[in-house]
Amino acid sequence: MNDAPKLGLVLGSGLGVLADEIQQRVTIKYEEIPGFPVSTVEGHAGQLVVGELSGMKVLAMQGRFHFYEGYRLDEVTFPIRVMKELGIDSVIVTNAAGSVNPSFEPGDLMLITDHINNAGVNPLIGTNDSKYGVRFPDLSNAYSEELQLLAKDAAKKIQVDLKEGVYVWNSGPSYETPAEIRMMHKLGGDAVGMSTVPEVIVARHASMDVVGISCITNMAAGILNQPLSHEEVIETTEKARETFLLFVKELVQLIAEN
Ligand code: HPA
């Protein structure tokens, strides 16, 4: 059990390639794991990859489950509880996100400092499983201060201008309206996306430490005078991929050393 992974990675749209860099890997397809939902969206492979990354034993989700795909939130967050059961105590969550903050640019990486749950649902609704955590979990420090510092160090090391901000979760699958984006900006949001928050809530419920990284793939609706498309999101993720990979590998290295 000494060799069991302590760090989990949740890889967002177009960012699953990171799992390809895991050495001495064992892969397990989601459909082979009892209780796991199966991923459906294009660009989301569906497997767990266990192995070594930057000298650390990790377990990566190559592809995640989204609420907009029709999964229940207990299904969306099931893998986080599997991680917990396996002894994982820290998670790096990643996603592709639109920028609500006009000063960010597509291709930027944003350290998530906090989130706004704008979806009106919560994965912990229902009977509380006290094996994992309390009925009313505190989200005052949803994103670990310590891991945020390591993320900033990692960015410095590889000379990336890491942005910081608040991630807003919308259910999707429609992108937002310009009026919604103006509202989110007024409410303190910096980036918007359709994932991550359910996993973070369930991870924090189970006292796991979380660090979140958004890959800014587009300016959110209404900021530029142009339509949004999934193609643009995928295209920008591909362009930002090298930096993203370098950055997360550096972050894992720093986590391993600390
Ligand atoms: N809105 C919501 N989700 C997203 C966006 C966006 O603009 N870009 C990538 N994921």
120-164: per-residue pLDDT in tens?
999 999 999 999 999 999 999 999 999 999 999 999 999 999 999
Alpha-carbon separation of residue 25 from 10, 32, 50, 64, 204 (angstroms):
16, 17, 5, 19, 27
For 25, the 3-state DSSP assignment is strand
> Which percentage of the chain shows pLDDT scores above 70?
96
Can you give the pLDDT at residue 1? 43
Whether residue 185 lies in the annotated active site: no
Domains, the chain, ordered by start = 7-257 (3.40.50.1580)
Q: Is 208 a catalytic residue?
A: no
Q: Which helix (H) or strand (E) holds 205?
A: helix 197-205
**Which pLDDT score is estimated for 42?**
55
**Measuring CA to CA, how many Å separate 189 from each of 13, 30, 160?**
20, 33, 22
DSSP state of 177: P
Residue 115 reports pLDDT greater than 50: yes
pLDDT on residue 12: 87
What average pLDDT does range 68-89 have in this prediction? 96
Q: Which two tokens stand for residue 154?
A: 């990692």
The residue whose two tokens read 């930027």 is 108
Write down the catalytic residue from 39, 95, 101, 195. Answer: 195
Check pocket membership of 196 for ligand 1, CB cut-off 6 A: no
How far is the centre of ligand 1, averaged over its atoms, from the C-alpha of 229 (Å)? 9
pLDDT one-digit tens code per residue, 36-67: 886 565 545 589 999 999 999 999 999 899 99
Which mutation among 68, 217, 224, 231 tests ligand 1's pocket best, with the greatest number of atoms within 8 A of CB? 217
Specify whether the CB–CB gap between 157 and 236 falls below 8 A: no
Q: What is the mean pLDDT of residues 198-206?
A: 98
CA of 57 to the centre of ligand 1 (A): 31
Q: Which two tokens stand for residue 250?
A: 């550096």
Active site residue 61: no
Average pLDDT for residues 85-93, to the nearest whole number?
97
Which residue's C-alpha comes closest to atom 9 of ligand 1?
A: 97
Q: Please count the helices (runs of H) and the strands (runs of E) in the chain.
A: 6, 9
Active-site residue, 180 included: no
Q: Whose CA is nearest to atom 10 of ligand 1?
A: 97
* pLDDT surpasses 50 at 183: yes
Q: Which atom of ligand 1 is nearest to the CA of 193?
A: 3
Q: What is the mean pLDDT of the segment spanning 106-119?
A: 97
Which is nearest to 236 in space by CA: 14, 3, 6? 14
**The two structure tokens encoding residue 89:** 């105590």
CB of 193 within 6 A of ligand 1: the answer is yes
As a whole-number percent, the residues of the chain with pLDDT over 90 amount to 83
Question: Each residue of 4-42: pLDDT tens digit?
Answer: 999 999 998 788 899 999 999 999 999 899 988 865 655
Instruction: Please tell me whether residue 18 adopts helix, strand or coil conformation.
Output: helix
Our answer on whether the CB atom of 165 is closer than 6 Å to any ligand 1 atom is no
Choose between 232 and 5: higher pLDDT. 5
Q: How high is the pLDDT of residue 8?
A: 98
Residue nearest to atom 6 of ligand 1 (CA): 98
Quote the CA–CA distance of 196 and 212 in Å, as a whole number: 8
Task: Find residue 58's DSSP bridge partners.
Answer: 7, 51
Decide: 228 in ligand 1 pocket, CB within 6 A.
Answer: yes
Query: How are the residues of the chain apportioned to helix, strand and coil, as percentages rounded to the nearest 5?
Result: 30, 25, 40
Nearest-angstrom CA–CA distance, 213 and 243: 12
Strand bridging mode 191-193 / 163-169: parallel
Helix (H, G, I), strand (E, B) or coil at 85: helix
Tokens of 240: 């930002």
Which atom of ligand 1 lies at the shortest distance from residue 176's CA? Answer: 1
Whole-structure pTM over 0.75, yes or no? yes
